[in-house]
Amino acid sequence: MAEQQLSKEEIVAAANEVREEQKIPAGYVAIELSTRGKFGAPRKFHMRNFATEDLVGLSLSDDDKVQIKVLEMMQDLIWEKDVKVADFHEKEVVETLVRLYRKFYQTKLRDVIWELTDEDREVIATEMGGKDNPQYKARIAAIERGEEKPTFDIDLNALEFYNVDEARVTGTARATSEIDGKKFIVEYTFPKYGDSVLLRNFMYNIPEFKEGEKKFRAIRENVKFRQRMEQQWEEGKNVDLTRIPRFAEQDMDAFKEYEEKKARFATKCVKALHLKSIDGEDISGLPLEEKLKYADDPRLDHNTFAQINKAYDDMKIGVNENIRAIDPFTRKVTEIKYPFRVFTLLQTLRDNKSDGTTIEFV
C-alpha cells in the first residue's frame, strides 16, 4: 500500500509549527483543548505551572473578587499574548485546568468529596442496625454537616472529552420566531468566562450602583453572617442568634429594593452582552452600553432567552462529567455525574503535590 504524500501546504505548516515550538521557553507545555478553536480558546497554546504566590494570593481574595483573581492568574500562565482567558467558555477553563493538572501534578484528583447516594444510606443503615437506630441518624447528620467527609479519587487519564463538530459548531445560538406574521431572528454568543468580571466592572462604574454598594455594604455582610449562623444553628451547633446585629425595618426594605433593582439591571446587561445580531444586524462589536438599547426590544421575550440559556447550559463540550469512580461505602465502581468546577480544581492544585517531583536532603 502506497504511503500517503503530504501536500506542500501541509509540509510548510508543519515546518512553521516546529519553528514556533522552538520559541517557547522551557517550563511551558502545549495545551490542546477538545473544542478545537471553535469557541473562545485557540486550538493550541502554551502554559507554565502555577507559582506558590499565585495560589496563596487566591486563598486571600475576597469572595466577590475571586473570579478577577482567577482570570489574572490564568492569563499570566499563558505564553501567547493574544490568547485571552476572559474569552474562553467556562468549560474550556475547566478543561484547561484539568489538562494542566495532569501534565504538571498527578494523573488523579485525590480526596474529592463524595455525595451520599440512596444506596450508600442503605449500606450505612445495615452497618448501623437500621435507619431507626440513633447511631445511624447521628452518622448521616455528621456526613451532611461535613464533620465526616467521605472521599474518592478521579482518574484523569480515564476522562472523556466531547467531540466538537468542526463543520457545524460555531458557538452561536440562533432563535427564529414568528410575531404577528413576521419572522424574527436573533443570534446570541456563548457565555464567556470573563463576562461576570466585565459586568461587575460595568455596573459598579454606574453612580447609582457604585454608591449603593457602599451604602448597603454593612447590611449585606450582616445578612451573609446571619445566614451562616442560622445554618450552623440548624446543624445543631451552639449559636446565640440574639447576638447577631439587627437593622431597622425601613433600612432592610431599602436594601431589598436596591438588590431587586440591581438584579433586574444585571439580567438586562447579561442579555445585551450575549446579543450577536438582531434581524441580520450585527451588533457583536458594540460596547455594552450601546447594546443595552437592543435588550429593550419587546421581541426579546423571557421564554426565548431562557431557552437560549438552557441550550448553552446543556451544550456538550469540554470534559464529560459522567465518570466512573469507586463508591467509598459500597466499594464498587459506579457511574456518577461529577460537576467539575474552576475553584475546586484550583484548590486541588494548591493542596496537592506533584507525582513528578521528589525532595531529598543532600
Copy the grid coordinates of residue 76: 499570566
**Confidence class for position 337, pLDDT limits 50, 70, 90:** very high
312, 191 contact by CB (below 8 A): yes
Q: What is the pLDDT of residue 248?
A: 87
Section 134-149 average pLDDT? 90
- Tell me the average pLDDT of the chain: 86
Provide the percentage of residues in the chain whose pLDDT is more than 70: 87
What percent of the chain clears pLDDT 90, i.e. is strictly above it? 51
Indicate whether 192 pLDDT > 60. yes
**For residues 13 and 226, what is the distance between their CA atoms, to the nearest angstrom?**
61
What pLDDT is recorded for position 358?
47
Give the per-residue pLDDT at 58.
65
Q: What is the pLDDT of residues 96-133, one digit of tens each?
A: 999 999 998 889 988 899 999 999 999 999 999 999 99
What confidence tier does 1 reach under pLDDT thresholds 50, 70, 90?
very low
* C-alpha grid cell, residue 99: 489538562
pLDDT score recorded for residue 8: 66
pLDDT of 13:
59
The span from the first CA to the last CA of the chain, in angstroms, equals: 57
Q: For the whole model, what pTM was predicted?
A: 0.81
pLDDT tens for 173-186 read 898 988 888 899 99
Mean pLDDT of the region 260-281: 93
CA 212, 213, 215, 219 torsion-angle sign: positive
Model confidence at 18: pLDDT above 60: no
pLDDT confidence of residue 273? 92
pLDDT at 19: 57
pLDDT of residue 4: 62
- Top mean pLDDT of 40-44, 171-175, 228-232 is at 40-44
* Residues ≥6 apart with Cβ < 8 Å to 193: 40, 71, 85, 86, 87, 88, 89, 90, 92, 93
Which DSSP string corresponds to 41-80?
S-SEEEE-PPPHHHHHHHHTS-GGGHHHHHHHHHHHHBS-
Decide which of 273 and 9 is more confident: 273
Q: Assess whether pLDDT exceeds 80 at residue 65.
A: no
pLDDT value at residue 59: 61
